[in-house]
Amino acid sequence: MALAQQKVEFVYATLARRIRTGFWRTGEVIPAEIDLAAEFHCSRGTVNRAISQLAREGWVERRTRAGTRVLAPQPVRTGGGSRRGGAAGKEGPAWTFIYPNMHHEGIARIARGFQDAVKAAGERAAMLTTGMDFRREAEMIGQLGPDDARGMVVYPVITSAEDQLYYMQMILACPLPVVLAEINLPGVGRPVVMADGLHAGREATRHLLAQGARRIGFLANYAWVPMVRDRYLGYRQALEEAGMPERELAVRLDGRMRPRFDTPLAEPEVLAREFLVAHPDIDAIVCGDDFLAHGCLRVARELGWAVPGRLRVIGIDGLRSLPATRPALTVYRVPFERIGAEAFALLRHAVANVEGETGTPVPAERFVRGELAVRRSG
């Protein structure tokens, strides 16, 4: 996915959020493209494309020499679709998957696994993308009804703990069966299918211990999310099994995530540098994801630390789209396609219960395990 398109989606999501929250009221003229371009540090073309998307969806009206005006909200039309993306058509309600976008490889592979499983069952899938705006996704969940979807699998778009509260309210209010993919939201009473983060963190750490590492660190951002927390607990569990005292742990759990569209490895590299400089005595590190592992390899090279001689590095996810590293990165491979397929299976189970076909309980959580792919870095 082109970085320019990611920037367009970011600008679009920000502008749409301002409209939804009432920052810009109905009838108000939004700032000129040149002013928005200066605010977002991007070209006027990027802003133009974002506003064009808002206009196509009915959020704004563009008038020559009169500017871009915010339109009044329109009701959702079920059955035939709407400006906000109804899932149903003449064929009736579909099995629906709501996700941010295909830009992240893991999300794309989960979506593909879901779609393939629906097709194999002889059913129809509706794939609804929402961009990076969590409110847009949450509102879409609230707008779909039985005429639109039989049930839905949702990959939540949540970038902060504050966003989570609004999102959870929409999930709780949704009348349809919902299964969460990868991001668990405890307390909403919806089943989740996710990678076994405890297994991932434990297996990565056990492998490093087997290689002779004794001062093993752990680095993660987006750390308030349950799946990241699970990976950290797996790391802790492996060290406790090995009798490693807690006081010797070198850990950073950063709650922030600040994506950069020009270079997605920029933030991971900053975090990696801060961590390695603060903990020069570690001989290995388990990274919460592949991006951070890439950042650690880059920083280790700058510091003159030989990998794997001076430092061993393991990432979690096993993304195929990231550039090759030297040395090759040891990773815990998450089977994303299986997560999508299992989510559909769980959703069918939940729908069957609602429709009276079965009465067996739906598991609250289903964990999908991956495997360690050992290469030179670890």
377 assigned to some structural domain: no
174 assigned to some structural domain: yes
For residue 206, what are the domain limits?
Answer: 197-334
Residues 294 and 289: their CA atoms lie apart, in Å, by: 9
DSSP string for 86-152: ---BTTB-EEEEEES-SSSHHHHHHHHHHHHHHHHTT--EEEEE-TT-HHHHHHHHHH--TTTEEEE
Contact assessment for residue 34 and residue 45, using Cβ atoms and an 8 Å cutoff: no
88 assigned to some structural domain: no
pLDDT at res. 24: 86
Residues 119 and 278: their CA atoms lie apart, in Å, by: 50
* Residue 276 three-state SS: helix
- CA geometry: angle at 223 spanning 218 and 228, to 5°? 75
For residues 180 and 201, membership in a common domain is answered with no
For residues 325 and 351, membership in a common domain is answered with no
Rg of the chain, C-alpha, whole Å: 22
H or E segment at 233? helix 226-241
Count of domains observed in the chain: 3
Contacts of 278 (CB under 8 A, 6+ apart): 252
Spatial CA neighbour of 259 closest among 274, 275, 271, 273: 271
For residues 261 and 237, membership in a common domain is answered with yes
For residues 213 and 319, membership in a common domain is answered with yes
* Residue 309 three-state SS: coil
Residues 138 and 370: their CA atoms lie apart, in Å, by: 30
Q: Which CATH number fits the domain that encloses residue 359?
A: 3.40.50.2300
pLDDT tens string for the chain (378 positions)?
A: 455 677 888 788 788 877 876 778 888 999 999 999 988 888 999 999 999 999 988 889 998 888 999 987 654 443 434 334 444 444 678 999 998 876 788 999 999 999 999 999 999 999 988 776 666 777 778 778 888 899 999 998 776 666 777 778 788 888 899 999 998 888 888 999 999 999 999 999 999 999 999 999 999 998 888 899 999 999 999 999 999 876 678 999 998 765 554 566 778 999 999 999 999 999 999 999 999 999 999 999 999 999 999 999 999 999 998 999 999 999 999 999 999 999 999 999 999 988 776 678 889 999 999 999 999 999
Contacts of 12 (CB under 8 A, 6+ apart): 50, 53, 54, 131, 133
- CA geometry: angle at 55 spanning 54 and 61, to 5°? 125
Residues 320 and 243: their CA atoms lie apart, in Å, by: 35
pTM score, two decimals? Answer: 0.75
113 assigned to some structural domain: yes
133 assigned to some structural domain: yes
140 assigned to some structural domain: yes
For residues 253 and 270, membership in a common domain is answered with yes
